[in-house]
Structure 1
Amino acid sequence: MHRLIQRGLMFGNLIEVASPVLVERYNRALKHLTGKTTNLTDFHIDISGYSPEIGDELDDHLYLNHGGCNRQFILLTTDQKSAPLLNIKFSTSRDILRHFIEENEPQLFALTARDAVAGELVNSVFSVSQPSNLMDIRKVTIEADTTEGTLRDAEKLGALADRFKQEEDGWFDDVLIADMITLAKRTGDVTRNPVTLKHMAFDQQDYWTAHFGGVYLFRGLAHPAVITAGDKAELGKLPIKYTFDFKDRNQIAKFLDYNDLAEPIVKARGVDGAAILRQKMDFIVVDAAQEAGVDLTGATRSDIRRLARNHAEQLPPEYHELRKMVDWAESDGKWPKITSDHPAYFYTLRATATDQRDLVNMLLAELAPKDIRQLFICHKEVFYRLYQGWSDTKKSFVADFLEREYQVDKAGAREALFGFDAPLEMPRVMRRASEDMISRVGPWGAVKSGR
């Protein structure tokens, strides 16, 4: 993975922790949350305070995410809001943390000036030991305080101040006054400078989880479903009408269509659909070249397309169907009827502008994994996993391409790919759903859940 790290494509934008003061605060928070400490004097942390160096030291990369369910976090600075989230188990976690920091930035800035803030993303369940537990996750709340309990003490001081004002003999209650003075030494004047964090809760209707091989839950829709990258039979019976896996291509296509979640790229507003498809074709050529053992070191876009012309008969069917669609878009050719059974089908789609947009783009990226650019932008966890199995020549080409075509202008690359609905680095925090739609009957006929 060193190519990705050197180019800032992995572990990029992490926050460096090098000062003794910050290291000491981090250790206090780490001890508070986990009972462990680090001997490192400098390291890097993500938005949640997780450090890959400390993960190596402790031989536990889930030291802040035991069981992968209720993620704990350590905030040393509000600058962490721009950092990535590593070892993602739920697609909404980064957005929840970022939103929490942004909504409470002045308070967190004041708190982290003196101490670390430690907390937890508390799910509706405490364990995801079996697939059915995923269906019980409906809300995530945030619990946070400094390691010294500043917020807890501020709440106590506020209650004591109310007693002092309301009780007739408050002025003569020496114990009450002494308690107030003691707490005020730690919290400051909470009547003039209240120290509080907003109570924040987030609905978890639609999300992706890394558990059980990768599962997408779409519950806030008229036609809900669960889609798994693994074998749906291994999920067992779930309390939802339909469960699909990636072999159910027709059903997934209908699911996207019935819920109006995807559209053909060449018909999408605000993008050059033909240019996007041509780039996907190049990626398919690169994948085929890897399989054939062709050296792609230093290959340019012209080299890739010359390779495609010279070996067109050896390219996979995805390439040829995308070429037909490009001909339709650029040369008024015949509209190619690509069915969902065809391996090119999901390469032709992008998500529509719905609340589930980013989650759908994650799903499409995993269904069309040869498009390495969309996979990297929309689903880094799968990208990193697949990257490890590629040949050195493909790794080199992909790292060079992403550094050249994406890393230098992320916003521009996303706008070119997704138009005015360019996605964030990670899926957005889900909005509150107005009702539970799981009991609704879907349109897919006799497809049975988990069978």
Structure 2
Amino acid sequence: MKRLIEKGLMFGNLIHVDSPALVERYNRALVHLTGKKTALADFHIDISGYSPEVGDELGDHLYLNHNGVNRQFILLSTSQKTAPLLNAKFSTCRGILRQFIEENEAQLFALCARDAVGGELVNSVHDVEDPRRLFDIRKIRIEADTTKGTVHDAERLAQMVNRFKTEQDAWFDDVLIAEMIGVAKRTGDVVRNPVRLKDMEFQQDNFWTAHFGGVYIFRGVEHPAAICAGDKTQLGDVPIKYVFDMSERNRIAKFLDLNGLVEPITKARGIDAAAILRQKMDFIVVDAAQDAGMDLTGATRRDIRILARSHASRLPEEWHGLNALASWAEGLGDWPRISSQHPAYFLTLRAADHADRDLVNMLLAELAPMDIRQLFICHKQLFYRLYASWTDTKKSYVVDFLDREYQVDKAGARDALFGHRDAPMEEPAPPRDDIVTRVGPWGAVGR
């Protein structure tokens, strides 16, 4: 992984904690949340305050994520909002943390000037040893305060101020006045400078979890289903009608289509579909070259395409399918029929414009891992796992490509691949009164 780290492709954008004051605040929060403490003088943290160096020191990389649920967090600075989330067990956690920081940025900035803010992403589930517990996760709310309880004290002081203003004899209540003065010494003037974090709650209908080998749960769609990266039988009897594994490509394709979750790249607005398809073809050539033991060190896009032309007959079906589709997109060939049974099918899709497009692009990356750029952008944990098994030739090419063509303009690359422009304004389709609506999109289920 050294090459990835050196190029900023792994552990990139982490926040460096190197001042004694910040380390001391971090330790106060760490003791408050976990009872543990670090002896390190400097380390790096992600958006949640998790540090890989501290994890190594403690021998516990889940020290802020016990049982992989109800993730705890430590905020030393609002700049953590741009950091990644490492060792994610749920796909929604980073988005929730970022939104919490952005919605409370002014308050958190003031609080972090004097103390660390610690908290937890709370739901009703405390362990997921039973797969059915995953389906009990419905909402996530955030609890947060400084290690000195500033937010709690501020709320208490605000209540006392209200009593002082409204109760008839409060002016003569020496105990109340003394208590107000004591709390105000810790919180400051909460009337002029309120210290309050917004109560935030997040609906969890569709999400990915790393538990049980990786499971995508879609409940907030017309035809709900769960899709397993591992063996679906290990889920057992779960409260959702349809459960697929990655080998059931036809059924997954039908699920995505019926719920309007994907669109063909060739029909997407405002993108160069042919260029995207040609780049995917290059990745397939690199994969084939790895299997053939070829050295691709320093190979350019031109070198890869010369290699493809020279060895076209030995390239897999995915390459030929994308080649036919790219030729059609460039006006150089007939329309090729690429059904869900074709190995290239999921390489021809991207998420449609909806709230769960990141989750769907993550699923597509897992269904078509040959596209190493989409895999890196949309599913980093799987990318790192697969990277460890690649040859040095492929590792070298992939790192060089991502550094040269993705790192220089991350936002632009993501927008070109997954952004949606000029989306049409359409009325929602009326409910369907047909066989699909009555028995489900995959037919009747045997009891």
The change in CA–CA distance for 1:156 and 1:165 in structure 2 (over 3 A counts) is same
Q: Distance in 1 between matches of 2:369 and 2:266?
A: 19
The change in CA–CA distance for 1:376 and 1:440 in structure 2 (over 3 A counts) is farther
Moved more, 18-27 or 163-172: 163-172
Q: CA deviation at 1:118?
A: 0.2
Q: CA deviation at 1:237?
A: 1.4
The change in CA–CA distance for 1:384 and 1:441 in structure 2 (over 3 A counts) is farther
Q: CA deviation at 1:440?
A: 8.8
Q: CA deviation at 1:169?
A: 2.3
Is contact 1:34–1:64 with CA below 8 Å preserved after alignment? yes
Asked if residue 261 in structure 1 is aligned to residue 289 in structure 2, the reply is no
Q: Which ranges in structure 1 are unaligned for 5 or more consecutive residues? A: 423-438
Is contact 1:228–1:246 with CA below 8 Å preserved after alignment? yes
Asked if residue 165 in structure 1 is aligned to residue 165 in structure 2, the reply is yes
Match of 2:442 among 428, 441, 444: 444
1:369 equivalent in structure 2: 369
The 5-angstrom pairing of residues 31-430 of structure 1 reads: 31-420=31-420
Q: Distance in 2 between matches of 1:440 and 1:56?
A: 53
CA deviations over 1:126-173 (Å, ceiling 9, x no partner): 111121111110100000000000011111111222222233222222
CA deviations over 1:344-394 (Å, ceiling 9, x no partner): 110111111011211111000110001000001111111111111111111
Q: Distance in 1 between matches of 2:217 and 2:445?
A: 17
Aligned partner letter, 2:140: V
Is contact 2:353–2:420 with CA below 8 Å preserved after alignment? no
The change in CA–CA distance for 1:346 and 1:138 in structure 2 (over 3 A counts) is same
1:29 equivalent in structure 2: 29
Is contact 2:100–2:200 with CA below 8 Å preserved after alignment? yes
Is contact 2:269–2:421 with CA below 8 Å preserved after alignment? no
2:430 equivalent in structure 1: none
Q: Distance in 2 between matches of 1:100 and 1:443?
A: 37
Is contact 2:138–2:204 with CA below 8 Å preserved after alignment? yes
- TM-score normalised over the length of structure 1: 0.94
Greater relative contact order, per chain length (Cα 8 Å cut-off, separation 6+): 1
The change in CA–CA distance for 1:395 and 1:204 in structure 2 (over 3 A counts) is same
The count of aligned residue pairs is: 433
Aligned partner letter, 1:129: E
1:432 equivalent in structure 2: none
Q: Distance in 2 between matches of 1:31 and 1:185?
A: 24
1:433 equivalent in structure 2: none
Which portions of structure 1, spanning 4 or more consecutive aligned residues, are displaced by more than 3 angstroms? 419-422, 446-449
The change in CA–CA distance for 1:441 and 1:73 in structure 2 (over 3 A counts) is farther
Cα RMSD between the aligned structures?
1.5
Q: Distance in 1 between matches of 2:39 and 2:351?
A: 46
Q: Distance in 2 between matches of 1:445 and 1:332?
A: 40
Q: Distance in 2 between matches of 1:220 and 1:260?
A: 12
CA deviations over 1:221-277 (Å, ceiling 9, x no partner): 111111111111111111111111111111101011111111111121111111111
Aligned partner letter, 1:300: T
Q: Distance in 1 between matches of 2:107 and 2:446?
A: 50
The 5-angstrom pairing of residues 10-29 of structure 1 reads: 10-29=10-29
